[in-house]
Amino acid sequence: MEKHTITKIWLVGLFIILTGGVVSAICVGLWLAHVFNITAGHRSYIPDNFFWMMMTLIQLGGIIAAGGFIAQLVAWIGAVLNSHRLAYKSWFKVIIWVGIVGIVTSPLFGLGGLIWWGVTVAYLIGGPDGMAVKQPRTATLAA
């Protein structure tokens, strides 16, 4: 996969994540306004149809954001495979190990996702394109 394609996939994933986050945030705001409006007279809140519609849309926003995460994961895997083609494996080692540490520590500390995201952005900005490197041809023996 070319670096240009990896960049496109990563940016599309970012757009999808932001879209899902915006959908969820708007629905949470609408739901909270609805709850505060109903409970203003010190009444108990009973979930109604609007509540269930907002909960559905919040979950839909989360599913959309998860799809963006999967797109960015595909872009990271493409970056790992692309950098593996290079003669010097420095970029490959950094991308794969820092990415793995970021992904594994993401649920533990929350900053792992930013670490993983940061190493991918560093590759997209400054990393070489492994597809542009010509692979040496091996000579075949004629019978």
Q: Does 100 map to a domain?
A: yes
Domain-located, residue 136? no
Question: Does residue 139 form part of some domain?
Answer: no
Domain assignment of residue 40, given as a range: 3-126
pLDDT of residue 62: 96
Closest CA to 105 of 92, 90, 91, 118: 118
**Residue at 20 is within a domain:** yes
Cα separation values, 108 from 34, 73, 113, 138, Å? 34, 18, 10, 47
Could you give the CA distance from residue 57 to residue 65 in angstroms, rounded to a whole number? 12
Q: How far apart are CA 68 and CA 75, in angstroms?
A: 11
pLDDT tens across 29-68, in order? 999 998 888 888 777 888 889 999 999 999 999 999 999 9
72 in a domain, yes or no?
yes
Does residue 66 belong to any structural domain of this protein? yes
Helical H segments across the chain, by residue range? 3-38, 49-84, 90-109, 112-126
pLDDT in tens, 69-125: 999 999 999 999 999 988 888 989 999 999 999 888 888 877 888 888 899 999 999
Domains held by the chain: number = 1
> Quick one: tokens of 115?
């670490």
Residue 99 resides in a domain: yes
pLDDT at 13: 96
Q: Residue 143 domain-assigned?
A: no
